[in-house]
Amino acid sequence: IASRSTSSVLVAEKAKWRRKEKELRSQLLRLQQTVDKCKMELKKLHEDALVADGFYIKERAKEKEPAALFLIDQIKNFKKKRPSWSEETTRHCVVLRHLSTRAYEPIRGEMLLKLPCRKTLSNYFGTTSGETGFSKLAEARLRVEAESLTVPQSGVCSLIVDEMKIREKLQYNKQ
């Protein structure tokens, strides 16, 4: 009789532990689903943050902030084989390339940043005919630069003029 009561107690105890295991498994499943749901929400928040950053950059570009305009050009031209550049970006790239060709070309060549090529930068300035005097193109460029200045003190500058090098060339004419 004692063994029957012990075995019935063991059966009851075993059933109790099975119920407890079942409850814990269902609780674990609910917690796992909650974690998955939280991960999805976190992913959406990260995506929303990127979108918000994009909108912020776009707003700053409307206010003509140079860094924002540059980033907008980077995004627009990222997949293009033949990129087109804003005047602001081209102007800054001319200055950057002039300051350090050894830095500009590797950055452009290794695609760290999408930057205008040398030909685009030289086309921005145009060609010179070699005539004496002050060219209309140079005068127009200086006017555009002066109009784009925001602070009155930034209009104070010095104009440096470089001489043109003329290369000697001998040509033999048989006639």
How many Å apart are CA 84 and CA 119, to the nearest integer? 13
Q: Which residue has the tokens 């060339």?
A: 169
Q: Which of 138, 91, 137 is nearest to 116 (CA)?
A: 91
- Among 2-11, 78-87, 93-102, the range scoring the smallest mean pLDDT is 2-11
Per-residue pLDDT, 20: 96
pLDDT beyond 60 at 145: yes
Rounded percentage of the chain residues whose pLDDT exceeds 70: 83
| Residues near 75 by beta carbon (within 8 Å), at least 6 away in sequence | 54
pTM above 0.75, yes or no: no
Name the residue with higher pLDDT: 103 or 149: 103
Contact 84, 77 (CB under 8 A): yes
Helices (DSSP H) in the chain: which residue ranges?
2-62, 66-77, 87-99, 101-109, 118-125, 136-148
Contact 115, 93 (CB under 8 A): yes
**pLDDT category, 106, cuts 50, 70, 90?**
very high
Task: Write out pLDDT tens, residues 11-69.
Answer: 889 999 999 999 999 999 999 999 999 999 988 888 777 778 888 889 998 998 889 99
